[in-house]
Amino acid sequence: MPNGSPGGSPVATATERIFGDLQEVAARVRGRLEAEITESSYELPADMAPASEISRFARDERARVLEAGVSGLEKLATHREDELDGDESFGVEAIVLMEGRPAILVQRQDFAPQHDEWAVLDGQRPAIRESLTRVGRVEVSGHPRLDWIGTAFLVGPRAVMTNRHVAVEFARSADGGGRWTFDHGMSARVDPAEELPLAGEPPGASVPYEITEIIGVHPDVDMALLRIEPSADGALPTPLAVAADAPASVPGRQVYVIGYPAWDGRRNEPESMRRIFMDVYNVKRLQPGAATEFTPGGLVLKHDCSTLGGNSGSPVLDLTDHRVLGLHFGGRYGTGNFSVPLWELVDDPLLTAAEVNWV
């Protein structure tokens, strides 16, 4: 649900601004639900009964929540927000997250055809695919608890950008000043694969980039720059283009995030969310949305893409020209998500040392 509505939401943009015609969306979702019920009405063979019971439970739960969401959308469309009950509020949020602010699986560095609100992604597919190959999962060896930490993306000839709070899991300040090094016994790499395999196929080949040096950790914003080397049989792609100036306008500007969302227990109704989406975590996803707020001269760019914990270090890219506008670093339930507006750091010495590809 939008801010200020019953139940709250991690999506910061009002539902009517995401969808426009709420009655049309309600009719579309109801039509899909009716089609699913018709197509799945037959009985499965007896030897598949246990699996069918599980799938039927998940399907029925999803249908129940989405039916409530359709009812909620119809009330919102006629300005009866005060009549929404808890199920309807949650159902509207489910529709927003499934259709308005989805987290699209990336497979073979590509994504499935999109419809309705995000059909625009299909027209931008070649450029988005180029962006996908330049984002990877930050993985570690020697960590006492974790085998991966967050996301990083290529910004220079041999440099990736991520968050400070990602880097400090495997690096430490060497002199109490500006020099950083690896923690004893630890190493790290960036893997641009880590996708959910296509059905019936083995995982794709993985060619990770070794992190060889901590270029630096920014003293003022949640940012770290890391030196990388390709594997012996691979080469580094050209870096992403990073915005050297602010976009013409921010609120409502279409953007997308690429990263590796992990399970986030801070969301409301976590078990219901699992049943609705049968969620797959820790793999690469494309997450479209909109920039929502920026104060000139400030160091926070807000957006409403559906991000989770593993998105720390993800790029926020402009859907118009595919420049990186921001470095995602976190979110707050019911408020939205936050990133560092990179054009504000165009003369920063740390980014100069990393030879950031300003465009």
Per the prediction, the chain carries an average pLDDT of 86
CA distance to 163, 195, 225, per residue, from 284 (Å): 17, 5, 21
Q: Provide the H-helix boundaries in the chain.
A: 15-19, 22-39, 49-77, 86-95, 120-123, 125-132, 164-167, 270-277, 349-353
At 174 the pLDDT is 84
At 141 the pLDDT is 96
Backbone torsions φ then ψ of 260, nearest 5 degrees: -130, 75
Backbone torsions φ then ψ of 105, nearest 5 degrees: -65, 140
CA separation for the pair 242, 315 (Å, rounded): 10
- Would you list the DSSP string of 130-153? HHHTTEEEEEEES-SS-SEEEEEE
At 6 the pLDDT is 35
CA separation for the pair 103, 260 (Å, rounded): 10
Map residue 174 onto helix, strand or coil: coil
pLDDT tens track for 322-333: 999 999 999 876
pLDDT band for position 7 (cuts 50, 70, 90): very low
pLDDT tens track for 37-59: 554 444 444 444 444 454 566 67
Q: CA-CA-CA-CA torsion for 213, 219, 222, 223, nearest 10 degrees?
A: -30
For the record, the structure tokens of 76 come out as 């919102």
pLDDT tens track for 255-292: 999 999 887 655 544 555 555 455 678 899 999 999 99
Contact 70, 91 (CB under 8 A): yes
CA distance to 169, 193, 219, per residue, from 208 (Å): 19, 8, 28
CB-CB neighbours of 319 under 10 Å = 19
Q: Which of 160-169, 226-235, 269-278 has the lowest mean pLDDT?
A: 269-278
Quote the pTM value.
Answer: 0.87
Q: Which residue has the higher pLDDT, 123 or 308?
A: 123
Contact 344, 205 (CB under 8 A): no
Q: Backbone dihedral region of 245: left (phi > 0), alpha (psi from -120 to 50 degrees) or beta?
A: beta
At 269 the pLDDT is 46
